[in-house]
Amino acid sequence: MSNKLEHNNIPLDSVSASWKWMGKPLKRFEDRRLLLGDTAFVDDLDIPDLLYVAILRSPYAHAKLLKVDLSGALKVPGVVTAIDGDTAKAVTKTIPSYAVATLKPEEYCLATKKVRYVGEAVAAVVATDPAVAEDAIEEIKVQYEPLLAVIDAEKAVNSKSNFVYDSFGTNAVGHNHALWGNVDEAFRSADQTLKERISVQRFSSTPLEPLAVIAKFDRFTQELTLWCNAQMTGHVMMGLSEMLGMPTNKIRLIVQDIGGGFGIKTRPWRPLAIASLLAMRTNGKPVKYIEDRREHMMAAGMTAGGIFDVEVAFKNDGKILGFRLHEINNDGASLQYAGTYSSMRATLINGSYDIRNIEWDSYTTLTNECPSMPNRGVGKPGMVYIVERMIEFVAQRLKMDPAEIRRRNFIPANKFPYATPSGRVYDSGNYPALLRKALEIVEYDKLREKQAELRKNGKYIGIGLATYVHGASAHSREIEGISIKIDAKGNIVANSGSPDMGTGHTTTISQIIAEELGVNPESITVDHFDSNFSPWTPYSGTHANKFSGPDVEVTLQAAKKLRAKVVAIGANLLEANPIDIELEDGKIFVKGSRERYKTLAEIARASYQNPKLLPEGVEPGLEETAIGNTPLATGAFMTDAKYEVGSMHQLVTGPGSPTSFMTYPSSAHVAVVEVDMETGELKILNYVIVHDCGRIINPLIVQGQVQGNAVHGIGVALLEQFVYDEDGQLLTSSFVDYLKPTTCEVPNIIDDHVVTPSPRSSIGIKGVGEGESLGPLASLANAVEDAIAPLGGDFRIHSLPITPEKIYELVKRAQKQRNRT
């Protein structure tokens, strides 16, 4: 443990020896403003003449929409205008589907003909006061004819009637099937097989700031301006332009502070389109819509639920030969993101293990529940959960140590780059080293002895492992843009296509630019996203751990180009050879003589004001834009994927699936828990994470991501679940029913690193925004089963969250069976 920087267990090999600003745990530059309360969240913005939007939402999960009568609302004093689904249908196109191509989307931003989930937007009102707008939606008269709600995903897959969309003639809107290796042979040659059904619930990272938008439409220029908290600026520009039938140059999208996103804010189609339509009916006055918490829980989007039947073939020595996985995904009532939870699973199908024979059969079904949205890792938490539970089941059956069975199945450290059975190529990793380090930190052997000792005294502790690969830095085809300029006074300003949502973009971008330009990173300004100024592409945005991929690459590219120009001009002014020029402290020196220098401001002055001072072939101005992907990631491309690709996906990337990641970070989690056999209460005694995210630009920010991620994963494992009753009513629409971890539940987390720099990143980094939220689902389930193992029998956690009630029932059943035998 000696090879560490002092502050937080960052090993020295996580930084490159040549870095001055990168690799440092700098305090974030954006924090001062946030700490002072000088925030620019949508609801904070000073925009004059605001009008306020309220949305009427469906109380039914599934019903025919017979009539919407807005007249009552329009009579309320203070109401300016109101719209319903007929208006939306007349002037907009449908909400695009992302992954499903075989079916034509039918949904508009407001319901037409049918409502399909509780909380679906039916009509919207604009008034001079937010309370008046709320009063007015109560005066809208709607006639519904309730239909039977489709809630059970398993029944929905095979149902021959009662469809969420009648014209589809099915609820099973997606199906992926693949056979990799020789699965039948694997099962024939196995010593044993086992079969289990496990599931993941529907959940969400629930950003604390709900969806929010201000829309303003200029009747004369026909320009629409949107201030909103959308994460995926590129998708919003492309999708909204399609839906509204407006050219992108007439839509100005401004994204300032975002109060957390986690994927849920990537595609806020409905609120954006509703606000836009209303803004076109208010004589130029801007309209503001701020979702409330209940609306957010009902309608903003959540994960897809999953039911997984897994059948494993293995040898008595613990070697897993292959498995069959049958999935049913519940994507709720919309095609907008349906199918993506399923297809993402194939990217990590074998996890960190060298398992080559896999059959994958995955259905996506629609139900009368809230539509799915991406959430931290999308289909990855489910896939990690499946593989890390499966390996545990095999270990339990063989009475083998869970660490040992992992060691026997890991992809060896010398096998990278590693092509997975599903055709992805893992970049780098050392999974045995991750596990080794994690076990050292918890003192695994001693802990096992202690566990045995405690059991004798009626205390039951359990140790649960999860050792897995994440998949990060976005898909290898995703392209981002950034512009960096040194203005005429020498100020450095960067403008990226991807917005900061608490993710530390401002600081990290500044550290990268500072490294190239030899300035103090604090002197750099990173502007918020504005489509009129920020270079954006259809995939621009903050999602899929993308920052560590194309964002960092284009920042480096633009900064290097700018550096080259500064050096050329500086060398000319100093009458020196460009090779001898060094940049430091905002000055350009001739190597070896610190007295001979020019400041960046002087270079800028020459560049913008005196063409005569420029060397031959150097254009005036100091501004560079880079738009690009991750050139070193070509090896990660999937060329023969067989996924359905929906209209949105085609719109932004063209046909073919790019679901292969640029970097593959990895983690080993060890959870140590104590189970109270009398009450079912679970206490996390220790939680250790050793992860490999390659080199690190800012260790402080990385550790923040690790902790926040892990705690969300712990919430999913133990607390969080959207619950629908059989009529499709959401029973968990507030934080009173939908439980989040608080300061009282979170364990202290020990984090440490193994570093295998990614060969696909110019600076050897990997992504960090999602990974640690994937592990706790399995590590905690494994730990609970380990704790109650002495009771004997085959008693397993089949569903999440692992509530005290579930543990209690498991313990009681096990005790009952033991008493019988």
Partner 1 sequence: MTKHLVHLKVNGELKEGYAEPRTLLVYFLRRELGLRSPHVGCDTTSCGACTVLMDGLPVKSCTVFAVQADGSEITTTEGLSKNGKLHPLQEAFWESHALQCGYCTPGFLMASLAILNRNASPTEEEIRRNLSGNLCMCTGYLNIIKAVKLASEKMAKVRN
Is the CB of 28 or the CB of 235 nearer to partner 1?
28
Shortest Å, Cβ 532 to partner 1: 24
Shortest Å, Cβ 208 to partner 1: 4
Is the CB of 28 or the CB of 424 nearer to partner 1?
28
Q: How far apart are CA 63 and CA 192, in angstroms?
A: 49
Shortest Å, Cβ 31 to partner 1: 5
Shortest Å, Cβ 43 to partner 1: 8
Q: How far apart are CA 322 and CA 652, in angstroms?
A: 36
The answer to whether 599 and 587 have CB atoms below 8 angstroms apart is yes
Task: Name the strand (E) or helix (H) holding 311.
Answer: strand 305-314
**DSSP calls for 748-776:** PEEEEE-----TTSTT-B---SSGGGTHH
Phi and psi of 82, rounded to 5°? -150, 150
Is the CB of 707 or the CB of 803 nearer to partner 1?
707
Is the CB of 260 or the CB of 801 nearer to partner 1?
260
Shortest Å, Cβ 593 to partner 1: 39
The answer to whether 359 and 691 have CB atoms below 8 angstroms apart is no
Shortest Å, Cβ 701 to partner 1: 7
The sign one gets for the Cα dihedral 44, 45, 47, 52 is negative
In single-letter form, the type of residue at position 753 comes to H
Is the CB of 57 or the CB of 324 nearer to partner 1?
57
Is the CB of 48 or the CB of 245 nearer to partner 1?
48
Shortest Å, Cβ 702 to partner 1: 10
Report the candidate in 139, 11, 7 with the shortest Cα–Cα distance to residue 78.
Answer: 139
Q: What is the CA radius of gyration of the chain?
A: 28
Is the CB of 8 or the CB of 803 nearer to partner 1?
8
Strands across the sheet with 212-218, in order? 79-84, 121-127, 51-57, 287-290, 212-218, 223-228, 251-255, 529-530
Is the CB of 433 or the CB of 700 nearer to partner 1?
700
Shortest Å, Cβ 640 to partner 1: 38
CA 330 to chain centroid, in Å, comes to: 18
Shortest Å, Cβ 6 to partner 1: 14
Shortest Å, Cβ 77 to partner 1: 11
Residue 612 DSSP one-character state: G
Angstrom distances, CA of residue 363 to CA of 174, 203, 421: 6, 19, 20
Q: Which residues are CB-contacts of 742 (< 8 A; sequence separation ≥ 6)?
A: none
Is the CB of 578 or the CB of 704 nearer to partner 1?
704
Is the CB of 501 or the CB of 807 nearer to partner 1?
501
Q: Which residues are CB-contacts of 667 (< 8 A; sequence separation ≥ 6)?
A: 434, 466, 467, 468, 470, 689, 690, 691, 692, 771, 772, 774, 775
Shortest Å, Cβ 399 to partner 1: 35
Q: How many CB atoms lie within 10 A of CB 795?
A: 18
Q: Are strands 357-365 and 492-496 parallel, antiparallel or unpaired?
A: unpaired
Q: Which residues of the chain form contacts with partner 1 (CB under 8 A)?
A: 27-28, 30-32, 34-39, 41, 43-44, 131, 205-210, 257-260, 262, 290, 292-294, 501-504, 700-701, 703-704, 707-712, 734-736, 740-744, 746, 748-749
Is the CB of 509 or the CB of 573 nearer to partner 1?
509
Shortest Å, Cβ 127 to partner 1: 13
Shortest Å, Cβ 131 to partner 1: 7
Is the CB of 540 or the CB of 732 nearer to partner 1?
732
Report the candidate in 34, 29, 19, 21 with the shortest Cα–Cα distance to residue 507.
Answer: 29
Is the CB of 210 or the CB of 658 nearer to partner 1?
210
Report the candidate in 256, 202, 194 with the shortest Cα–Cα distance to residue 225.
Answer: 256
> Count of alpha carbons within 13 Å of 259, Cβ hemisphere only?
17
Report the candidate in 496, 487, 482 with the shortest Cα–Cα distance to residue 621.
Answer: 487
